[in-house]
Amino acid sequence: MYRHALLATAALTLASAAHAQTAPRLSVTIYNNNLALVQDVREIPVAAGRQKLEFKDVSAAIRPETVSLSAAGLSVVEQNFDYDLLTPDKLMEKAVGQQVKIVRTNPGDGKETTETATVLAANEGVVLKIGDRVEVLRDDGVPTRVIFDKVPETLRARPTLSVTVEADKAGARPTTLSYLTTGLSWKADYVAMFDETRGALDLQGWITLGNQSGTAFVDAETQLVAGSVNTLASNSEYRPPRPALQAAGTESGTGERVADYYLYPLPHRTTIAANQNKQVGFLSAQGVAAKKVYEIRQDWFSSQAQPESATVAIQFSNAKLAGLGNQLPAGVMRVYVRDKAGDPKFIGENAIDHTPAGSELSIKTGDAFDVTSQGTLVSDEKVSKTRSRYTMKYLIRNARPEPVTVELRQGGLWRDGEVKAESLKSRRIDARTLGWSVPIPANGETTLTFTVETGW
Amino acid sequence: MSGRTFIGAGSQAIGPALIATLLLCSPALADIVASPGPDKVAVTLYRGGDGPFQALEDWQREEAMAKGLIQVTETRTVFLPAGRHTLRFDGVADALIPQSATVEGLPGPAIERNYDYALLSPGTLVERSLGQAVKIVRTNRRTGRRTEETATLRQGPAGVVLQTAGGVEALGCSGGAEALVFDKVPAGLSDKPALSTVVDAAAPIQATLTLSYLAIGVNWQADYVARIHPSGRTLDLTGWLTLVNASGTSFADAPTQAVAGRLARVEVDVKRGEAKPVARKCWPMDTTHHGPRPVPPPPPPAPPMAMAGAVDMLDRGLEEVVVTGNRAKLAEQSELGDYKLYTLPEPVTVAARQTKQVAFLDQKDVAFQRLYVVQLDTWSDYDDPDETPAATVVLRLDNRPADGLGKPLPSGALAVFETADGRPAFAGEQALRDVPVGQPFDLMIGEAMDVRARPRLVAEQDRRQDRTRRVYEVDLANAKTVPIVAEVRMATNRQGFKIVAEPTAHDIRDGAAAWRVALPANGRKTLRLVVEYDD
């Protein structure tokens, strides 16, 4: 019986090649938030009755409470996760009261002498009993090797999962081991080639998965789940605010779904090595309709000491009609344009959230060098105990050789906010915000003035 | 239960068979074809971070370097035999962002792309050889005889434990001379992080690939020198692109460009490679006459080269400024989307730990106005004689062709030199923001010695509706032998602020109301201002 358990251990540690059985089918499902489900199916030879199966090649970042082992005719008695790790000092500690061999090398003639000693204690120093002498190990500074008989059963090279099972009869059978592990995560990376004159975007998507679990997953069937699955650990983590969508889509995306999430299976079995980033392409689309917008945002009525650059954003839709029609898992979108010579040049990047198909996206790429705005608070008057009147003047300059339109957003409206006068027609974005589309001539400037009254 | 989980001699025989199996079934372990280096490389630098490098502390500079970005485009020629291969790109930048890499020109679709950052180090060598056969070599210090023994690595690198034929032993605890000898480097360990792609080639092919990626550790800024003509009315403005390569990678003979403007960026975690330390976790070592093992003596001081940390390197870099090109050949400016692109006139080598400067601007006779600015606000009573506001020397320029300029000015630092007795004298420096064409800008270069301002609050009155009226008088004195223009500014960022009376109409400068007063040589004037605001 013990012999069989030993064989099972060997098989699990070194793959079952040695036994000419079916290779373990490893499958890994990776979630966005530092979590993966590992499933390991292989033939394990078991003896009839109760025995302990050890699994050494599981992820070092395993969540042991999630382990489940299943096979026909096998019932689990108990599961243990042992993490008393083998180190030289532990080895000595566990050898107290037992015999070890010590090998001394005589510094005078270089001769080695081997003796058997009993370890009496290992506190601050190691006290040995050799024959009828009591000595401290290496008291004379002479090189002394200590040879232990064996590694105690409870000390392990790495945290080890063991499952005690009861088998109905002897014989190999396919066994499924599954568990959750941390240390694996993935996100999407997008390369967007923007062509302003065509008003189009070529989009490529890559899945980037990282393995910091400390374990390699060899030849694994891999799939990725897009979506934020709740975990207790992630409840206490800081979650960066999700980048907003201009408008969330209502189209059903492409590909497989599981519950409320999208599933991206990798086309090939792959080896996810420890300390590796792996990228696999998953999306390629040409000619997605896109446009560039300039935006200025001011949250309050105040004067600006310096002109401020307008932000530049690329806006597009991942709707079918716009040329895409795919959901976009959360990640980073890097935007490129071609320079005069036709070479792609990076112009900025931004994070996107999980984006259902049919959504409107706005990717901020950076600040415009040539389009600037400077606001001046011209007057600030109290019209009653609870109301103020503000007059703002924005000088918006355009040093580009073509006319541009700047979307100006003015926040700061409170109760009963209303526009009293304006040099250009505004629209109300929301209770707090006014918006103007300000046209600026080529190599020119436009002054926008307006007066608003608002309570506070 | 059996305590022996050790795999005996019998099962060791399966080692090679196992490895062969892994090689066959895993695409990541397919044949490795190494591309030793690029044939050609082109780089584009992006500026990152706030403010000029000169304004930063040493540790901030190091951070600022990491904020810059470089786009590297490499041309590589590789020979690919037919079949599935792992194509490894050696000699890429050491702080590359693997997610940003793109490879063009592959004979087939890339199956996957990998970035391995497990580094070959004593610790990882032990870690990845666990459970494998190694040799332990012991040297007798007296006789010099070396004895070799085969052992299996049981634990490491935090406390190495070996299984030999004789039993279990710890490494490095005996005081003797012991060494581990390995057969081979375990797969997946390399001296530097390695970027590779798995690709299928239908037939043997000589492929020319374009590998492009972003990396951090390289930054740039513009550095300007303004030389004021003796006349005091115009200046010559020269601009330099200062390229700082704080990374460990050199870009040889590379067509080089720099992008001016501020890019949106997402924080990135760059894996510079992971090594593992080896720790001895020996048993307690006290003896009857020695306490805890003495703290090892400090290592001898490193030679100066190695001692220069990353931060020092930057300083050293800045000291040995390599000036290439000359004024006749300026970097050419073009447009890149909403940014400005500067192309260096010829390929250059941007060496590791180097600062390189190339001229991009040379404007003669740029008109400017010299002003003495006094900044006031309504919060102060100006009754403390020890606190008089200083007059700041300001050069006011307008970035337009009519004034001799009209060129985009990327952000950086600007140093001003005046000519005194035919010799240049440093007159101050100032950070410069991005200045597009058509925009006026002020350079605050220092405090004036000979121009003084003394503001006084001469009256404060209660007005109706919880308002206060204040009357300020500002005495301006010019001790210079030439007439000057002073500009008095009053902050307006106060509820209900209103100017009630002023000697001349104000305008708005840097968000404040501003009045300009001409002062004759060795003359004085008083400016009277009446303002109101809500309490």
* pLDDT at A249 (0 to 100): 82
Whether the pLDDT of residue B373 is over 70: the answer is: yes
Q: Are B69 and A367 within 8 A, CB to CB?
A: no
Report d(CA A418, CA B1) in Å as an integer: 83
* SS3 at position B48: coil
Would an 8 Å CB–CB cutoff place A383 in contact with chain B? no
CA distance B337 to chain A (A): 7
Chain A, residues 262-281, CB within 8 A of chain B, namely 266, 268-271, 273-281
What pLDDT is stored for residue A61 in this prediction? 87
pLDDT at B288: 84
- Cβ-Cβ contacts under 8 Å, A136 against chain B: 286-288
B169 CA: distance to closest CA in chain A (Å): 5
What is the C-alpha to C-alpha distance for residues B63 and B311, in angstroms, rounded to an integer?
9
Per-residue pLDDT band for B25 (boundaries 50, 70, 90) equals: very low
Average the pLDDT over B372-389 and give the result.
86
Q: In the predicted model, is pLDDT for residue B294 greater than 60? A: no
Yes or no, beta carbons of A332 and B99 under 8 Å apart: yes
Among A235-249, B31-45, B316-330, B380-394, the least confident range:
B316-330
Of B292, B187, B500, B2, the closest CA to residue A9 belongs to B2
Residues of chain A whose pLDDT is less than 50? 1-21
- DSSP code of B412? E
B179 has a chain A CB within 8 A of its CB: no
Q: Name residues 81-100 of chain A within 8 A of B (Cβ).
A: 85-93
Residues 6+ apart with CB under 8 A from B305: none
Find the distance separating the first CA and the last CA of chain A, reported in whole Å.
Answer: 82
Residues B512 and B490: beta-carbon distance below 8 Å: yes
Instruction: Enumerate the β-bridge partners of residue A26.
Output: A40, A220
What confidence score (pLDDT) does residue A237 get?
63
Running DSSP on this structure, what letter comes out for residue B337? T
Distance from CA of B360 to the nearest CA of A (A): 17
Of B99, B168, B437, the CB nearest to A150: B168
Residue with tokens 């630098």: B45
Q: pLDDT > 70: what percent of chain A?
A: 93
Contact B130 A2 (CB under 8 A): no
Point out the residue among B21, B159, B495 whose CB comes nearest to the CB of A87.
B159
Closest approach of A168 to chain B, Cα-based (Å): 19
Question: Using H for helix, E for strand and C for coil, what is the string for B271-289?
Answer: CCCECCCCECCCCCCCCCC
**What's the pLDDT tens digit per position in B335-354?**
999 999 999 999 999 998 88
B283 in contact with A, Cβ within 8 Å:
yes
A157 lies within 8 A of chain B by CB: yes
pLDDT at residue B316, as a whole number: 39
Residues 53-92 of B with CB under 8 A from A: 69, 71, 73
- Does A7 touch chain B if contact means CB atoms closer than 8 Å? no
Task: Give me the phi and psi of A264, to 5 degrees please.
Answer: -120, 100
How far apart, in whole angstroms, are the C-alpha atoms of residue B201 and residue A197? 36
- Report H helices in B281-331: 304-307, 310-319
- What is d(CA A314, CA A293) in angstroms, rounded to the nearest whole number? 6
3-class DSSP state for residue A342?
A: coil
Q: What is the mean pLDDT of residues B426-444?
A: 92
**How far is residue A370 from each of residues A226, A400, B340, measured CA to CA in Å?**
39, 6, 9
- How far apart CA B112 and CA B90 sit, in angstroms, is 17
pLDDT tens, A185-237? 999 999 999 999 999 999 999 999 999 888 889 899 999 998 877 877 766 66
Q: Does B6 touch chain A (CB under 8 A)?
A: yes
Which range (A105-119, A291-305, B9-23, B431-445) has the least confidence?
A: B9-23
Who wins on pLDDT, B317 or B433? B433
φ and ψ of B152, to 5 deg: -110, 135
The residues, ordered by sequence, that sit 6+ positions from B87 with a Cβ below 8 Å of its Cβ are: B33, B35, B78, B80, B106, B196, B197, B198, B199
pLDDT in the model for residue A238:
65
Model pLDDT, residue B328: 57
Chain B residues within 8 A of A112 when measuring between CB atoms: 140
Q: In which band, very low, low, confident or very high, does the pLDDT at B276 lie, cut at 50, 70 and 90?
A: confident
> Is there a contact between B168 and A337 if contact means CB atoms under 8 Å apart?
no
B340 neighbors B437 (Cβ within 8 angstroms): no
What are the tokens at A45? Answer: 């030879």
Residues 344 through 373 of chain B touching chain A, CB cutoff 8 Å? none
Q: Mutating which of B23, B174, B531, B533 best tests the A interface, going by the most A Cβ atoms within 10 A?
A: B174
B-chain residues within 8 Å CB-CB of A219? 22, 25-26
Q: Is A133 in the B-facing interface, judged by CB distances under 8 Å?
A: no
Would the CB atoms of B168 and A148 count as touching at under 8 Å? yes
Nearest by CB: A122 against B4, B26, B284? B284
Contacts of A101 in chain B (CB under 8 A): 166-167
Contacts of A440 (CB under 8 A, 6+ apart): A371, A396, A397, A398, A403, A404, A405, A406, A446
Nearest CB to B436: which of A91, A143, A372? A372
Q: What's B345-394 look like in SS3?
A: CCCEEECCCEEEEEEEEEEEEEECEEEEEEEECCCCCCCCCCCCCCCEEE
Q: What residues of chain A lie within 8 A of the CB of B263, using their CB?
A: 346-349, 365-367
Task: Note the pLDDT of residue A336.
Answer: 95
Instruction: Look at residue B356 and tell me whether its pLDDT is greater than 50.
Output: yes
Whole-prediction pTM:
0.82
Please compute the mean of the pLDDT values over residues B40-63 and round it to a whole number: 86
Residue B387 pLDDT class (50, 70, 90 cuts)? confident
Minimal CA separation from A9 to chain B, in Å: 7
* Helix or strand (DSSP H, E) at B67: helix B58-67
Q: Is B526 on the interface with A (CB under 8 A)?
A: no
Q: Is B185 on the interface with A (CB under 8 A)?
A: no
Span B61-112, pLDDT tens digits? 777 777 889 999 999 999 999 988 899 998 899 889 999 999 999 988 888 9
Q: Do the bridges between strand B423-432 and strand B332-336 make them parallel or antiparallel, or are there none, so unpaired?
A: unpaired
Out of B116, B436, B493, whose CB is closest to A276?
B116
How far apart are alpha carbons A288 and B470 in whole angstroms? 61
Q: Which residues of B touch A339 (CB under 8 A)?
A: 257, 334, 336, 341
DSSP assignment of A75-120: EEEEEEEE--B--HHHHHHHTTTSEEEEEEE-TTT--EEEEEEEEE
ipTM, interface predicted TM-score of the complex:
0.82
Report chain B residues whose CB lies below 8 A from the CB of A348.
263-265
Q: Which of B154, B151, B153, B158 is nearest to B123 (CA)?
A: B158
Q: For residues A137 and A147, what is the distance between their CA atoms, to the nearest angstrom?
A: 13
Three-state secondary structure call for residue A416: coil
Give the mean pLDDT of B19-37.
59
Is A279's CB within 8 Å of B285's CB?
no
Q: What is the pLDDT of residue B331?
A: 92
